[in-house]
Structure formats: C-alpha cells, structure tokens
Amino acid sequence: MKKYKSAILSANPSQIDYVYTPVQIQEIASITDFLPGIYSAEDVESGKLADVEVLFSTWGMVQLDDALLERMPALKAVFYAAGATDYFARPLFARGIRVFSAWCANAIPVAEFCVAQIILGLKGYFRTSRSLTAPEYFNHKLAGRGVYGETVALIGAGAISNTVQKLLQAYRVNVVVVPSRREKRTVSLEEVFRTAMVVSNHLPDRDDNVGVLNGDLFRSMREGAVFINTGRGRQVNEPEMIQVLEERSDLTALLDVTYPEPPPAGSKLYTLPNVKLTPHIAGSMNDEVHRMSEYMIEEYRRFASGEPCLYEVAESMLLTSKT
C-alpha cells in the first residue's frame, strides 16, 4: 500500500475532534505520510500543504477555490468523513481531484432511527400512548394493524431509503418505494399516501421537491396512519399538514426535521398532541460519527492499494444534477 502525503484540513477544528477519535488519527498517521495537526485555508494559502496528496476532513471542510487549489498542486484526493459534498466538490472535480464521502455511513443511523419508528407506528404505539390518560382507555381498540403484511411507503430511493429497505427485510412488511423523479415512478405519491400505514420521507433536498408533501396527501391517509420525516422540512407544506393534523387526531407525524428549523416560537408543531418533534437527531451523532471516519480510513486503504473504491463521489451525484 502506497503511503501518500496526507493532512487534515478544516475550517472548524472542533468538528475534526468530534468525528475522528485519537486512535483513528493515529491510524491515519500509520498508513500515510502524515503531516501532524489540523490545517486551515490560511495554511493552504501560505503553501504549507503544497506537497500534500490526500486530505482528510469532515463537516467544516474548507472550500478550496481555484486560488487555493493553485497552492496544492500535488492534491489527488479528498476523504470526507460526512455526507453531502455539494458545497465544496465542483472545483476539485474540475481539476481531476477525486472525492470520497461517507454518505453511506451517515445513512445507517438515519435508517435505524426510521425503522424503529416504523415498527412502533405499525403497532399503533404513538396513537395508543397519547390516548392512555385514564384506566378506562387501557384497551386495544386503538392498536395499529401490526407489522405482519402491512404496507410501508418510502418516498425517495437514495442511500437512506435503500438502507431502510434492507433493514425491513427482517420484517414481514410490504415496502413500496416512490423515486424522487416523477419519470421513474411506477406508483404515485397519491396512491402510497392513501394505502400505506406508514409513510417515511427520504426525498433529496432539491428545489423541485419543495412543498410537494401537501395537505391533500395527508388528508388522504388511512385511519391511524403515521408520517415520518427525516428528509428535509421544506419538502412538506407545513401549514397544510398542521391543518390536517388538527382535523384528524388519529394521524401521527414524527418530525425530525422542520422548516424553518427549529420551528418558530408559537408553532403548533410544539403543541399538537399527534406531533412528535425531535431536534434533527436521526443522522450520525456522538459515537455514531466515528463510523464515518472509519469508512474514509478504509476507503483510503483501498485507494492506496489500487483496489476498487466503494464511496467515490461523481459529479453527477451532486444535488444540483442528481438523477
């Protein structure tokens, strides 16, 4: 395995300390020709990284424009221990610099979070627990249809949706996937909102998806159905959703994302009994973030050994051009 000259680059060193453990930093140092420390845009501009061939980073990656890239003529690859690379990748692609991302690693905790909520939703947990306010309500009349044979709809067909599908193979459920692109759909949003007991949103954060999950869709949902949003808040027409949730106390909305985020003071999302808010915790957090750096260290090993890489980002994958 070749030892490339490497460094860690970040505009926010605290994120490096958060994502990479000391043991992982030591591992990078052992498998690369490592330049110790955490470097900034100013260090690039000063020429300190002129001979660096590979960079490791995470959230807070420096946006390397043409002027900065001129100061790093040896750079061949960036290993980004986080998800989306849209905000910094294009200038790198223009110079033939390869970009690798831990987008698949970041999909795992989101998918695990969703599957947990899906199973509870199918069992009717959320509806029954908020109704159990006195002994006389201690019965099964509001229980869900159960897991066996029920229909779960996943809106979007990206990495998170794919991981949810794999995890749900352990259960006897009917999973229906609605791709984000209309031309790729064999089933409509209208049909899955009308037929699924749980609908989970995984749409990419594109402008053409803004507000597509509207009041008519929520109003058509089955008795006791559950909507999960770990995608983006702006994909939901929240005023219309709120109106439907006020009208139909049987529905449940589990919202890990909102628009804006957090909801403004006085928003009904804080007080509606059939809304459960979480503060954007589905993605990699705390110990989970170390999986992302692990993925990038292993990807570097493949890169340096000339083996096929698993998590390389192509320009066609960037959000503005994603198909």
**Which domain covers residue 201, as residue numbers?**
107-277
**Are 121 and 192 contained in the same domain?**
yes
Q: How many helices (H) and strands (E) does the chain have?
A: 12, 12
CA angle 270, 274, 276 (to 5 degrees): 55
More confident residue, 34 or 318: 34
* pLDDT exceeds 90 at position 203: yes
**Are 95 and 111 contained in the same domain?**
no
- Give the containing element (helix H, strand E) for 98: strand 98-101
One-letter identity of residue 145: R
**Are 94 and 128 contained in the same domain?**
no
Tens digit of pLDDT for each residue in 224-273?
999 999 999 999 999 999 999 999 999 999 999 999 999 999 999 999 99
**Are 134 and 255 contained in the same domain?**
yes
Instruction: Provide the token pair at 151.
Output: 């229909």
The proportion of the chain whose per-residue pLDDT surpasses 70, expressed as a percent, equals 98
**Are 112 and 61 contained in the same domain?**
no
The pTM assigned to this predicted structure is 0.89
Rg (CA), the chain: 22
Q: Are 56 and 81 in contact (CB under 8 A)?
A: yes
CATH number of the domain where residue 82 is located: 3.40.50.720
CA distance 27 to 56: 12
Tens digit of pLDDT for each residue in 264-295?
999 999 999 999 999 999 999 999 999 999 99
- Give the containing element (helix H, strand E) for 23: helix 22-31
* pLDDT exceeds 60 at position 121: yes
**Are 70 and 210 contained in the same domain?**
no
Instruction: Provide the token pair at 206.
Output: 């594109």
| pLDDT band for position 166 (cuts 50, 70, 90) | very high
**Are 87 and 219 contained in the same domain?**
no
**Are 89 and 117 contained in the same domain?**
no
pLDDT score for 145: 87
| pLDDT band for position 43 (cuts 50, 70, 90) | very high
**Are 239 and 314 contained in the same domain?**
no
**Are 177 and 73 contained in the same domain?**
no
CA distance 18 to 277: 25
**Are 53 and 118 contained in the same domain?**
no
**Are 172 and 247 contained in the same domain?**
yes
